[in-house]
C-alpha cells in the first residue's frame, strides 16, 4: 500500500487515493522561480495560511488585489517544465525496473496566456468539452475517471513541447537498443553514421557499443569508467580520458538489470586437463613406462603437446585434441615426428574423422589412436 501520510497536501488531494492500489511509491517536487519561497513565507508570517484568518473577507478578491502588487516582478515569459518518471518492476527477477520519462514544456503564448493559465485552464476546458460531448457522465468526475487516451491526445496537441521515452539512468547496469550516433575521442577520433546499436552498461563502469556484425564492440570503455547521462546524451569517460558520446535519437528498447551475476567460470575438460590425466595414467592408457616427461616440447615445427622418453630410450610424441581429430591433426603430428629420433606417435582424442582414420590405417602405421573423452577424467 502507498503511504499517503506525507502526500496529504492540497495540490495532491486526489493522487494518494487514486493511485494507492496501483503504485508503491510517489514523490512530488516543485521548482519555483527565485524569490517565490520568500513571498510565500511572507504570507505565512502574517497569518494568511491559518484557518479562519480571512473569514469575513473575500479570499478571492484579496488575492486578486495582492497579485496586482507582486505580479509585476514575475518573468513576463512564464514557463512550466514538467517531468514525470515512472518505474515498473518486471515479474521476472532477472530483468527489473523498466522506466519511462514524460517531459512537458509550456510557456506564455502569443495571446498572453501564461504557462500556468494554459496548463490549468486547458485541462479544465478539455474536460468540459468531454462533458458537453457526453464522453463523461454528468455529475462529480474524479481525475482517474477521465478517458485518459482522449484527454492526452487533446492536451498534448496544445503544449509547446512533449516527449515520452524510456528513461535512461546510470544508477544501475542496463542494456539498451537505440538509433544513435556514436562519437569517440581518445587515441584516435571517430564519428559513426546514424544507426541502430546495442548499448551495454555494467556495474563496474564498463561501457560497450555493439553493432549488428562480429563479436567485438565497435566502441568500449573498460571498468571504472564514469558514465554521465544528460537528456538523450550518454557520455562515458575512461580512466585514461578516452571519451565515448552516444547521442540517442530514438530509444527503442531499454532495461535496467538489478541481478546481473558477477560469478566467474570454471574451465573443465581442457587439453591441459587431458594432458595431466594422461601423465598420471601413461602405462594404463599407452603402455609406456616413462623415464622423462616434457609438456609442450619445442621443435622447429612447433610445440609437441606431450613428449615422453621411456625406460628403454624410445621417444613418444603425443598430440591431444579435446574434440574429434581431423586429418590436419594427423599431419601436424607427423611434422613433429620428423624432427624427433624415430618416435612413436599418438593421437589422443574423443574420435577421428574418416580421412584421419584412413591415413593412420593405410599411410602411417607409426601413429596410434587412443580414444579419450574430456568428461571421463572427472
pLDDT at 90: 57
Contacts 24+ apart (CB under 8 A), 129-132: 129/154
Work out the pLDDT band at 267, boundaries 50, 70, 90. Answer: low
Partners of 182 in the β-ladder? 246
pLDDT at 197: 96
Between 162 and 95, residue with greater pLDDT: 162
Q: Which of 357, 345, 292 is nearest to 317 (CA)?
A: 345
Give yes or no for a contact between 347 and 326, defined as CB atoms under 8 angstroms apart. Answer: no
Work out the pLDDT band at 103, boundaries 50, 70, 90. Answer: confident
Between 136 and 17, residue with greater pLDDT: 136
pLDDT at 75: 58
Section 51-72 average pLDDT:
64
What are the extents of the domains in the chain? 5-165, 174-256, 271-377
Classified by CATH at the fold level, domain 174-256 comes out as Protein Yojf; Chain: A; (2.70.180)
Instruction: Look at residue 53 and tell me whether its pLDDT is greater than 80.
Output: no
Section 135-158 average pLDDT:
83
How many CB atoms within 10 Å of residue 160? 14
CATH code for the part of the protein at 271-377: 3.40.1350.10
Instruction: Look at residue 105 and tell me whether its pLDDT is greater than 50.
Output: yes
Instruction: Look at residue 347 and tell me whether its pLDDT is greater than 50.
Output: yes
Work out the pLDDT band at 8, boundaries 50, 70, 90. Answer: very low
Same fold for the pair 174-256 and 271-377? no
pLDDT at 40: 79
Section 20-34 average pLDDT:
77
Section 137-151 average pLDDT:
81
Work out the pLDDT band at 56, boundaries 50, 70, 90. Answer: low
Instruction: Look at residue 107 and tell me whether its pLDDT is greater than 60.
Output: yes
pLDDT at 1: 34
pLDDT at 3: 41
Instruction: Look at residue 47 and tell me whether its pLDDT is greater than 80.
Output: no
Section 61-67 average pLDDT:
69
Average pLDDT over the chain reads 82
Instruction: Look at residue 280 and tell me whether its pLDDT is greater than 70.
Output: yes
Work out the pLDDT band at 226, boundaries 50, 70, 90. Answer: very high
Report percent pLDDT > 70 for the chain.
82
Between 162 and 321, residue with greater pLDDT: 321
pLDDT at 60: 65
| Backbone φ/ψ region at 111: left (φ over 0), alpha (ψ -120 to 50), beta | alpha
Give yes or no for a contact between 104 and 161, defined as CB atoms under 8 angstroms apart. Answer: yes
pLDDT at 84: 81
Section 230-235 average pLDDT:
85
Q: Which of 72-86, 167-181, 253-267, 330-344 has the highest mean pLDDT?
A: 330-344
Distance CA 2, CA 286 (A): 73
Work out the pLDDT band at 257, boundaries 50, 70, 90. Answer: confident
Amino acid at each position: 500500500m502507498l503511504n499517503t501520510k506525507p502526500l496529504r497536501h492540497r495540490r495532491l488531494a486526489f493522487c494518494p487515493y487514486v493511485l494507492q492500489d496501483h503504485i508503491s511509491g510517489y514523490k512530488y517536487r516543485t521548482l519555483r522561480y527565485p524569490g517565490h519561497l520568500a513571498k510565500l513565507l511572507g504570507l505565512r508570517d502574517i497569518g494568511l495560511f491559518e484557518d479562519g484568518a480571512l473569514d469575513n473577507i473575500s479570499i478571492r478578491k484579496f488575492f486578486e488585489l495582492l497579485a496586482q502588487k507582486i505580479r509585476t516582478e514575475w518573468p513576463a515569459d512564464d514557463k512550466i517544465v514538467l517531468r514525470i518518471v515512472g518505474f515498473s518492476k518486471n515479474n521476472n527477477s532477472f530483468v527489473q525496473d523498466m522506466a519511462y520519462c514524460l517531459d512537458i514544456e509550456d510557456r506564455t503564448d502569443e495571446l498572453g496566456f501564461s504557462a500556468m493559465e494554459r496548463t490549468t485552464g486547458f485541462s479544465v476546458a478539455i474536460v468540459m468539452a468531454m462533458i458537453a460531448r457526453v464522453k463523461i457522465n454528468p455529475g462529480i468526475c474524479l481525475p482517474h475517471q477521465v478517458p485518459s487516451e482522449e484527454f492526452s491526445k487533446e492536451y498534448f496537441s496544445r503544449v509547446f513541447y512533449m516527449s515520452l521515452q524510456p528513461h535512461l539512468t546510470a544508477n544501475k547496469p542496463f542494456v539498451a537498443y537505440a538509433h544513435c550516433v556514436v562519437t569517440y575521442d581518445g587515441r584516435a577520433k571517430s564519428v559513426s553514421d546514424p544507426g541502430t546499436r546495442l548499448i551495454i552498461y555494467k556495474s563496474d563502469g564498463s561501457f560497450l557499443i555493439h553493432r549488428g556484425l562480429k563479436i567485438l564492440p565497435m566502441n568500449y570503455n573498460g571498468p571504472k569508467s564514469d558514465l554521465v547521462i544528460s537528456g538523450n546524451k550518454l557520455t562515458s569517460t575512461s580512466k585514461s580520458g578516452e571519451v565515448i558520446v552516444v547521442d540517442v535519437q530514438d530509444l527503442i528498447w531499454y532495461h535496467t538489470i538489478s541481478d546481473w551475476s558477477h560469478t566467474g567460470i570454471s574451465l573443465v575438460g581442457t587439453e591441459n586437463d587431458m594432458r595431466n590425466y594422461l601423465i598420471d595414467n601413461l602405462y594404463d592408457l599407452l603402455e609406456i613406462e616413462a623415464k622423462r616427461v616434457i609438456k609442450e616440447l619445442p621443435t622447429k615445427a612447433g610445440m609437441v603437446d606431450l613428449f615422453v622418453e621411456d625406460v628403454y630410450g624410445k621417444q613418444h610424441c603425443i598430440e591431444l585434441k579435446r574434440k574429434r581429430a581431423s586429418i590436419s591433426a594427423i599431419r601436424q603430428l607427423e611434422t613433429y615426428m620428423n624432427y624427433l629420433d624415430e618416435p612413436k606417435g599418438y593421437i589422443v582424442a574423443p574420435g577421428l574423422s574418416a580421412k584421419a582414420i584412413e591415413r593412420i590405417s593405410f599411410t602411417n602405421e607409426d601413429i596410434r589412436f587412443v580414444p579419450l573423452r574430456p568428461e571421463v577424467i572427472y
